[in-house]
Structure 1
């Protein structure tokens, strides 16, 4: 699975002989081109940003690649990187790839069960550990996971920008511990771009997540394509507020670097501080869920910071608030577009062009970002290809598609003719463009009709008393699925469930009207690497309990 990186797609590299082949080569060429340009803005623990030049980023990459060589890290090895959004995390991505090994990112919020699972699946030879970050005892969690899994890695202790001097001695979990130097090293030998470079955890809607791995060539090709489609150029600033361990944050930051832009990294999220940075550093691009920008909007409503530099927001509608947030950002001059992606096909695999009119431009999906990415929609039961306009499962083939799963086979991931099964329902608009509907398991079959719950959620959210809405399906008295809504009230309002049912009945088809709407103080949520999502399974349990008079 290969693709050709076209030089003209990367504004920083106009000449054909300068086209980079993978991420380490990209950093090398950026440094050679202009070593003093700021590549990364690091945020220190006290909230101050520190500029990291292209030259410094490449120097640190060289030094770490040499240390990894000395520690025996080579082709096919997994290196777990357990740290927040620091420039160190980017250095580890590049240096590990230079050794033809692959990074498995671990979210700093992961608990013991998740870390144990990753150790068992990825079996990393080395863990780069941000011990002491944000008061978290990651070492204690790692020790417990090592004991449970039986996987005993080396540990490299990293303290990040402005952090204390590392103390590796206390971090040995059985295979030794050390701390990377920040001196220099030789240029690493050219690496094979077809070696695996990074693996991401999947959403894990059932059971524990899988680890979807991609090659170095695929990472760079996708970064180049995203940079071109998003209109990123040198001088732009990409906000990296989502964890690099997740595909959403990773792909946006890689696109910025591929364009020769600056990436602003936020290791923790404080809305007021991030808004200060957006204004001070003239941020131009952000890709995130609506949950993150909702928090920015709440902070902005108090201080009205200058957002005039913010040109583009690629949104995933996790909480049903993208339309109202798009209206707010439109007043600031920001273009908002729905996006599509996953760990298996990369984030920002598709987005809508600027000339796509709203509200269609705000829906999930879009036009694929690379001409070698093919997309089709099929009957989810038979894999029969459907014509444009008919709803079915969205499937992909191309350089963005997962190259391997670490530690486990996934026999049903691909069709017999080699297409990746996304598990998402959608509608093909024309060749290369599609509208995302919902996860196949979230679609509601109401009186024989397949219904996207987001349609009902949008109607509920349009009521002035409703701040957030979510709809789930549960079995009714006769065993058929019924829709049940949950809403969080707008501050100072007291909506009534029966009134909201009537509100839906006024405009929706009868079979789409929820059987009940419950007002709750807060939605049950889960925080993942790509943002905060509402836990539909928990709401289904609540709906069932209330129907039985238990809640």
Structure 2
């Protein structure tokens, strides 16, 4: 099952079905023609206008470096030839350990041109995580960022190679935009090393098979070491075209790409932008003030990111406001329970329209969201309409797997080109991930609204059964977060003295505020049914979080451990 769901969560709890729109949900526009293969996603843009800007990179001094479509295509062609010389071919894996540089796109397209596939590696990954990727994906080559943000990626790679059972890969050292290439000799970890160079007249980029694997993403690994969910190029292309049309991106617009391309959220956003002919505004390291300045100066039109990312933007904006009149759309995933208030802020300050999105590493990000004409606040919740008719969704009883009618809660299950095609190094994972009749287990609770339209409730494991009623913890979290002294809230369930589940709240207060547990429980009682009021609320300095490729998420498992320990200490 997927364990890194990307979704904005709706309120309303689970004692009743989530709110269902009282009107038909609009269909999305038909996607543009799908490119013939993954390199052609860029190639057709080059044929249309090679001088138009494809990417805005960040140089080492923070300066913006424009990269034209033609330049990115020439880099891709040269790299594809170098990969051929290096022996990279059909079925091989290349690990791309790079931040959000235009080089990351060149590597994706060039590797696909060789019939090979990419596994993205987060620059935050530790030695154990990298060793796990080496053992599962067995990359023949690692594209390694040189001197990025003071990180010793080479040292981590050496230690990971020593720990892993897989053969040592070759290393291609990538200097990054505006940087000098180093001597590659120091980067040999046992398989050789080289620096991608310039080829004056590279051959044409070969046509590749869209039915071959193209890219893999690590899942969040909250239930153990991450799985490596791989997708075919055909799925990437169909999804990119559908996302671009559904979101409403168009040629010449600017799309913020602040989430790592090694994760599905950042990757699908960039691919949709390219499919639309828009410009990717890359940020290899997130600084809220720098991002806001770029959004204002460049006229960024579209943002995709979690409420954790936009919360940082909102706080920086309140300290130093900027006018962002071009910001039209925000696709939000709710990681910290702040999406609704931030949607109001973006709407009131800039006229931004916000839609809750749904997806995961195994299903792609932006698998669904609510159309722009869906009324607020329902449009801010998770779920929505799938972005193209090839994606099918049903709701099934988690035990019997029998399909359920609209309005009844069950597990969301999917079929279509967006669904994971393989798990690198773990063939048995696919058997566990699918039903006997071929539907993918999402592990998420939701309800079917209409054909291709669903409402996301929560992760099945996060649902709380309180006094016999199923409750979505986000409903309680949003009530807590609405308190004027609360910055962030999270609610988990633990076994009470009688064995029944009790709700426990954790709150990080706003700076200079210190609401008491009694005050917060009274606040909840004023706005929630009595059985939803947390039995205990703890005010803490900060939430335990994990920083993944798709955003910073609160570690609910750690909070459950804390809640259990504190409960036992007070028994």
* Separation (CA, whole Å) in 2 of partners of 1:205 and 1:145: 21
1:339/1:350 contact within 8 Å kept = yes
2:29/2:246 contact within 8 Å kept = no
1:42-441 equivalences in 2 (<5 Å): 42-151=57-166, 152-183=168-199, 184-331=201-348, 332-408=350-426, 409-410=428-429, 411-441=431-461
1:378/1:394 contact within 8 Å kept = yes
2:94/2:142 contact within 8 Å kept = yes
Distance 1:7 1:294, change over 3 A: closer
* Separation (CA, whole Å) in 1 of partners of 2:273 and 2:126: 30
Q: Which residue of 1 aligns with 2:471?
A: 451
Q: Which residue of 1 aligns with 2:496?
A: 476
1:22/1:219 contact within 8 Å kept = no
Q: CA deviation at 1:124?
A: 0.3
Q: Which runs of 5+ in 2 are unaligned?
A: 1-27
Q: What whole-Å deviation, never above 9, does each CA across 1:78-98 have from its counterpart, x for those lacking one? A: 100001000000000000001
Q: CA deviation at 1:7?
A: 12
Q: CA deviation at 1:510?
A: 2.3
Q: What whole-Å deviation, never above 9, does each CA across 1:139-180 have from its counterpart, x for those lacking one? A: 110011101113210000001001222321100011100010
Q: Which residue of 1 aligns with 2:53?
A: 38
RMSD (Å), alpha carbons: 1.4
Q: What whole-Å deviation, never above 9, does each CA across 1:502-539 have from its counterpart, x for those lacking one? A: 22122322221110111111111110000000010111
Q: What whole-Å deviation, never above 9, does each CA across 1:204-246 have from its counterpart, x for those lacking one? A: 2211110110011110110000000000110111100000000
2:181/2:195 contact within 8 Å kept = no
* Separation (CA, whole Å) in 2 of partners of 1:540 and 1:256: 39
Q: Which residue of 1 aligns with 2:523?
A: 503
2:211/2:233 contact within 8 Å kept = yes
* Separation (CA, whole Å) in 2 of partners of 1:383 and 1:288: 32
Q: CA deviation at 1:182?
A: 2.9
Q: What whole-Å deviation, never above 9, does each CA across 1:416-451 have from its counterpart, x for those lacking one? A: 111000001111111111111111111111122221
1:530 paired residue among 550, 559, 565: 550
2:546/2:554 contact within 8 Å kept = yes
Q: What whole-Å deviation, never above 9, does each CA across 1:398-429 have from its counterpart, x for those lacking one? A: 11001111000212100111100000111111
Q: Which residue of 2 aligns with 1:3?
A: none
1:469/1:485 contact within 8 Å kept = yes
2:29/2:245 contact within 8 Å kept = no
Q: What whole-Å deviation, never above 9, does each CA across 1:468-511 have from its counterpart, x for those lacking one? A: 11000011011111000011112222201012112212232222
Q: Which residue of 1 aligns with 2:561?
A: 541
* Separation (CA, whole Å) in 1 of partners of 2:82 and 2:570: 59
1:490 and 2:505 are equivalent in the alignment:
no
1:159/1:165 contact within 8 Å kept = yes
Secondary structure, counterpart of 1:474 in structure 2: strand
Aligned residues: 539
Secondary structure, counterpart of 2:304 in structure 1: strand
Question: Which of 158-167 and 277-286 deviates more?
Answer: 158-167
* Separation (CA, whole Å) in 1 of partners of 2:30 and 2:328: 22
List, as ranges, runs of 4+ consecutive aligned residues in structure 1 with deviation greater than 3 Å: none
Q: CA deviation at 1:23?
A: 2.1
* Separation (CA, whole Å) in 1 of partners of 2:482 and 2:325: 28
Q: CA deviation at 1:550?
A: 7.4
Q: CA deviation at 1:132?
A: 1.5
Question: Which of 102-111 and 492-501 deviates more?
Answer: 492-501
Secondary structure, counterpart of 2:256 in structure 1: strand
Q: CA deviation at 1:250?
A: 0.3
Return the structure number with greater relative CO, CA threshold 8 A, min gap 6.
Answer: 2
Q: Which residue of 2 aligns with 1:16?
A: none
Q: Which runs of 5+ in 1 are unaligned?
A: 1-5, 14-18
Tell me the TM-score normalized by structure 1.
Answer: 0.96
